[in-house]
Structure 1
Amino acid sequence: MSTHQDATRDRIEAELTDPLRELGLDVEAVEVTPAGKRRVLRVAVDKDGGVTLDDVAAATREVSRVLDESDVMGEMPYTLEVTSRGVDRPLTLPRHWRRNEDRLVKATLVDGSSLTGRVLASTEESATLDVSGTQREVAYADVAKALVQIEFNRKSEDD
């Protein structure tokens, strides 16, 4: 069954990539999950500078239009959810690193070691991190997994 779902997901992603690119958005993830007699279609989008509520609204309209003109969802009713790419998603592409410049990232390397540093810069092949005041260049090929670390600003207005 999962191969059918994967094929459907891949077809949906293929149909949405170009129309959403016209809006300046990248399709980051497509998930189709059964929910009773319906299905839930989740589409995560992202762009440089972050996704606004207006972007999500525009993407929702565009996804609805594309799917209405396509038979990819079949006859079964579905609920559409368009979201921005969450901070809990791993950094897997150069654009993910670029969009998270100045954020704290924890990277687990393929050799088993890990490091946490602030993203200073990135290219198509690697990112430069500030790890405790030392600049480290990390090639994406050496990264097994990388996640943005949530930071809470502890400074108060009185300080």
Structure 2
Amino acid sequence: MSAHNVSTHEGSPWSPQAITEAIEPVVSQAGLIVEDVTVKGGNTPTLQIIVDLPTGTDAVELDVLAEVSQQVGEVLDEGLLASSGAYELEVSSPGATRPLTQPRHFQRNVGRVIRVVGENEDFTGTVLEADDAGIVIEPIKPAPKKGMKDKVLDPVRREYADIRRAKVDIEATAAARLAAAQAAEEAAEPGLTGEEA
């Protein structure tokens, strides 16, 4: 069996640009944006489409994703790829470990801990603010010894031009959220006096 070769060059129905243009109306109608389109050849080509919310820090809900996937399939089957034969369609949202490459990615991760490889320094910290030019981050200095707490430093601003790579640190974000929840819970409880203990 020979591989089904698909041309992804501009002008081809399989080009990421052509696919994006065809599906953008149904994706945007659902309140989402097309993040990425990838075509992988093979006996049955695979079309991978990544969609995301344009703003905010919420995740794309699974029922919305399922509905968009169905609508995207219908649009492609009835239009652009109607005579292209069988293909696999995968519509998903970006994973938490995706690289942060656009200002919007940083804006969607305000409140999360990220790891940054910078032009002049590497650091980990909590994103406090993000705009079109850069981020305000609260750097975290790792504890010198196991069992000690990390040190949170004063917030600093870093421009995107100074960031080579960035990614959400899922474990550190979860730990930071747990610590914040515990601190809030402790602050809400009335303290015990010596007589009550």
Same fold per superposition (TM over 0.5): yes
Partner of 2:91: 82
- The structure with the largest strand share of the pair is 1
Give me the whole-angstrom Cα distance separating, in 2, the residues matched to 1:74 and 1:82: 21
**Which runs of 5 or more structure 2 residues have no equivalent in the other structure?**
141-152, 183-197
> Computing the radius of gyration over CA atoms, which structure comes out larger, 1 or 2?
2
1:42 matched residue in structure 2 = 48
Alpha-carbon distance in structure 2 between the residues aligned to 1:105 and 1:34: 34
Instruction: Report how many aligned residue pairs link the two structures.
Output: 154
Say yes or no: does 1:117 pair with 2:120: no
* Structure with more contact order per residue of length (Cα contacts < 8 Å, sep ≥ 6): 1
Instruction: Answer yes or no: is 1:29 the counterpart of 2:36.
Output: yes
Aligned residue runs from structure 1 range 123-142, under 5 A = 123-132=131-140, 133-142=153-162
Task: Tell me if structure 2 keeps the 8 A contact 1:11–1:72.
Answer: no
Alpha-carbon deviations, 1:70-115, whole Å to 9, x = none?
224752311111111112211111211111111111111234x211
What's the RMSD between the two structures over aligned residues? 2.4
1:39–1:76 CA contact under 8 A, matched in 2: no
Work out whether 1:51 is the aligned partner of 2:60: yes
Q: Residues 112-157 of structure 1: CA distance to partner in whole angstroms, max 9, x if unpaired? A: x2111111111111111110322011111221111111216466x9
| Separation (CA, whole Å) in 1 of partners of 2:38 and 2:123 | 31
- What's the counterpart of residue 20 of structure 2? 13
Matched, 1:143 2:163: yes
Consecutive unaligned residues in structure 1, runs of 5 or more: none
1:8-50 deviation line (CA, Å, top 9, x unaligned): 1221122222321111111111111123x21111111111321
